[in-house]
Every structure is written in C-alpha cells, then in structure tokens.
Amino acid sequence: MSDDEPDLELLALLRQHLQGKLKISEEPETGVLEGAEYVYDNSIDVALDMRSCKNAAAAIYSQMQQKECSPAKWSEHELHPKTKDEATIAFIFTMDILNFSFWSEKSDAERFAISYRDKRWTGYWSLVAAMQRALEEGIPITDSHFWQDEEECTLDSLKHIFRSCTDEEMPMLGERLACLREAGTVLYKKYECSPTNLVKAANGSAAALVNLLAKDFPCFRDEHRFEGRRKPIRILKRAQIFVADLWACFGGEGLGDFRDIDKVTIFADYRVPQILNSMGCIAYSPPLDVAVRAKRDIPSGGSWEMQLRACSIWCVELIRREIKRNHPEVNINAILIDFFLYDTIKEIEAAGQESIPHHRTRSIWY
C-alpha cells in the first residue's frame, strides 16, 4: 500500500471509536451505566473485589443454568398477570408506579402483610396481591381515571385497598397516592389516559421508554447529584423495571419486544447491594458497614446511598460481561441476573441466613 492509499482497517477502527465517544448513533441511551461507572470511579465508601466478581460470575451462571432462568418465569408466578393485552400493561404500569418501600422493622408476624387466596403475602408480593384483590372487588385500581378522581381515589380508599392482616399499614401511603395522582395527570395530558400509548411511543426501544418515563413522569425520575459531576446520576430503578416487567410478561414479543433490551441495567434497590456484599463482590468502608449493620437511616440521594446503588449497577455489569466472555453463546442480560439475585436473597432471608442486613433508606425510588 502506498502512502497515498487510505488504511481502511484503521479508518474503520477510528470510526468505531468516534461513534462511541460522540454517540453518532441515533439509538437512545439511558445514561444509567455511564453514571454508575462514574460513581464507581469516584467511590470511597463502596469498593469492588474483582476476584470475587469473577467467582460470582461463574457461580451465578451455573445456578441460573440449573434453575433454567428465563423471562418466562415471570408469568409463572400465581400473582402475576397471565394475559398479554392492554389490561395487563395497565396492571404492570400501576404496579411499578407503586413498587417501592415495603420493608419493615417489625417481625414477620407483625409486619405489613396482605391476606389473599388463603395465603399471606409480604414485600413486593403484598402489592401485587392487594391489586389483584382490589380488581376482584370491583375497584378499578389500574384505571388512570380512578387515580384522578379525588372523591373516589383518596387516602382512605388506598388504606382499604392495601388493608393489612396485621396492625401495620403499608408504608408511604400518602406518597403512593401522590404518585398515582401525578401519573394519571400525565397520562391524561400526553397519552390519552393509556399506558399502552406510552409504550407505543417508544417505538420498540427499551431505552426510549425508560427516557420517556423519566422525562414525563417526575415520580419515575430517579436521578440524583453526586460529588463533582454536573450531570445527575441516573439510577431509574422503577422506570427500568417497568420495561423489564413488560419484556418478561410478553415474552419479548408484541408490545414487550424491545430491540435494545440489553441496555436495561439491574434495578438498584436495597436487596442487590445486600447480596453482592454477602458474596464478597462489594465491600463497605468501616463507617458505612457499621451504619448498615446497625440499621441506621441512610438518607435518600446522599453520598452513601448513591455509592451503594451505583456501584451495585456497575458490579453486576462486570459480572454480566464476565459471563458473556466465558459463554458468548448464552443470551443473558442484567434483567435476568437481577431476577436471579433478588430471588436468591429472598430465599436466604426466609431461611434466616442473612450475613448482613439491607441498608435502610425510605424513599419512593425503590
């Protein structure tokens, strides 16, 4: 090749580099991973152990294979919707508007719980059980017209819908009412009162749907400031889990078909850091470790909480990459890993084998 001839391979590499840096692609991005990596790079209270992450990747892959983890597992649970229609989209949207803060300091016998179909449900499942019970009782809990009706949808009506079989109420009922009211107003103004129209507006892009939720619905705008960065750190737990729930419920087909579903990260809450810490993948500074073990309140949006959540996102991303590196033929994404980790820590909790409690942060974000 003469000096006058272009090096096509070099040009191709340069083009790929520039596209990555300048984001020439028109495909939407959520920015969640970018923010998580920034927090990890600047974290002083949460650290990752790379050897443990590699070991965890092998163990997680092996156990997920044994349990045959797939999005189909979502619909197999007796409380999750079985149909694949607009009513199901409305159910999932309502569920994820309200999908936050179920933990309690009370004992299992005393904590908030829902009695439904001769079973007792706690945590996330208490929400789903209460919604199913409300629909059976003729209460239109998934209808945005109901949310906007200030005479019908009141704090007292929510207390009835989410009535407990114990003396403890569902936490943050006032905040849940505010989220429903706000979401109903946005749906009315922008989406003709239809969650299905919201999903269709994303044109089959998971990232676009996450971004629409964060832009149009303040109650989904889970982003926070972190020291030294102008742009807010985007966590977007409930926005991302809405997309993941749709994808899992619809089996990646129809309105659950997202061409970029792998852009969704884990759903950073209080359970993922807990299990990653117990696996040795993330470690806490002595002051943070003491605070977590003492079950002290960790303020929402504070430095400690941001490090816990963002470093968990980045940790699972590294685990996902390690699994793909060793098993390139396997279809695995952060959603499936998150589902597996959540189920695993709940099993550990039920067996009374937790090595560290989850951190205590009360907020609408998770």
Instruction: Kindly state the tokens that stand for 165.
Output: 């079989």
CA distance 347 to 354: 10
Active-site pick, 96, 222, 245, 269: 269
| Residue 163 structure tokens | 């009535």
Write the DSSP string, 239-255: HHHHHHHHHHHTTT-GG
Q: Measure the CA–CA gap between 258 and 261, rounded to whole angstroms.
A: 5
Is 269 catalytic? The answer is: yes
Q: How far apart are CA 294 and CA 360, in angstroms?
A: 10
Tell which residue, 270, 219, 263, has the closest CA to residue 96.
Answer: 219
CB 237 within 8 A of CB 222: yes
Structural contact between residues 24 and 16, judged by C-beta atoms closer than 8 angstroms: no
- Over its C-alpha atoms, the chain yields an Rg (Å, rounded) of 21
Helices (H), 42-103: 50-66, 72-76, 86-97
Concatenate the DSSP letters of all residues of 311-360 into one string.
Answer: HHHHHHHHHHHHHHHH-TTS---HHHHHHHHHHHHHHHHHTT--SSPPPB
Pairs from 75-80 (Cβ < 8 Å, separation ≥ 24): 75/248, 75/249, 75/251, 78/117, 79/121, 79/125, 79/128, 79/129, 79/132, 80/128, 80/249
Question: In this structure, are residues 244 and 264 in contact, taking their beta carbons and an 8 Å threshold?
Answer: yes
How far, in Å, CA of 364 to CA of 151, rounded?
24
Closest CA relative to residue 361, chosen from 276, 299, 272, 287: 299
Q: Classify residue 303 by its DSSP letter.
A: H
Residues classed as catalytic: 269
